[in-house]
Copies of this chain bind each other. A is one copy, B any other.
Amino acid sequence: MAGFDKVVSCYEEAMQGLEDGMTVIAGGFGLCGIPENLITEIQRRGTRELTIVSNNCGVDDFGLGLLLKDRQVKKMVSSYVGENRVFEKQMLSGELEVELTPQGTLAEKMRAGGAGIPAFYTATGYGTKVGEGKPVGVFNDRNYILEEAITGDFAIVKAWKGDRYGNLIYRHTAQNFNPMAATAGRITVAEVEEIVEPGELNPAHIHTPGIYVDRMIQGTFEKRIEQRLVREI
C-alpha cells in the first residue's frame, strides 16, 4: 500500500512547508511525550512568528522553551507555563502573546478541531477571566461558556510505536495531549520510537488511526524528567 506509507527519511522533510506565522499544535504534557526532535527541527529552521498550541511550554533549555529562547514564538496557547522563566520575561515585555486556556478546555478544543465540532459549551471558566467576552448558554439552569475549536497548520506528536500507515500507539502517560493534537493539524507529523510493519499493531490498541497522520519519522529521544521522585525499597 504505497499510498499509505507515511514514513519520511529526515526531519527536514518531516517539517517541510512550515512557514512564518503558522499555527503549530504540539502534543505532550510537561516534558512527557513531547515531540523533542520535531521541536528541534523547528528551531533549526528558524521559522518565526509562530503560534504554538501546547499544554506547557517546555523548560528554558528543552522542548518548546527552545523556540521561545530563539524568539520564534509570537503567541502561546497553554494551560500552565510555570516551569519556564524565559516565558515570563517575553510576556512582560510584550514580545509574547499568551492565551491561558484551562487544561480540559484546551484538550477538548483540539479534539473538537479534529472532529469537525466548531464550538462547544463548557462550565469551565464561566465567571472567570477565561469566560470574558465569550457567549454564555444556560442548560438545566447552569451557566456555560462557548469555546471554539482549535486547528493548526501543523500538528506535531510523539508516539511509542507507529506502523508505516501512520497508526500510532502511545506509551503510558506519554499519551496525554498527543491523540487530540494528531487530529487537529492540517498536516500532522508524528515521530516515534519504533516503526513497525502494518499488521503488527492490534487494530483495537491503536490510539491514533493513520488517517490523521501525514508524515512519520523514527527518532531517538532524551525523555527528560522534570520531577524525579523515587521511593526507597
Contact = CB atoms under 8 A, between A and B. Distances in A.
A47 interface: no
Contacts of A170: 204
A63 to B, nearest CB: 23
A121 B123 contact: no
Nearest to A169: B204
B118 A137 contact: yes
B119 A139 contact: yes
Interface stretch (A10-18, A140-148, A189-197): A140-148
Interface string A104-122: 0000100010011111111
B123 A120 contact: no
Q: Which of A122, A169, A175, A207 has the most CB of B within 10 A?
A: A122
Given A116-B122, A116-B123, A118-B137, 17 more contacts: A108-B115, A108-B117, A112-B120, A117-B120, A117-B121, A117-B122, A118-B139, A118-B144, A119-B139, A119-B144, A120-B120, A139-B148, A169-B204, A170-B204, A172-B203, A172-B204, A205-B205
Contacts of A119: 120-121, 137, 139, 144
Interface in A62-85: none
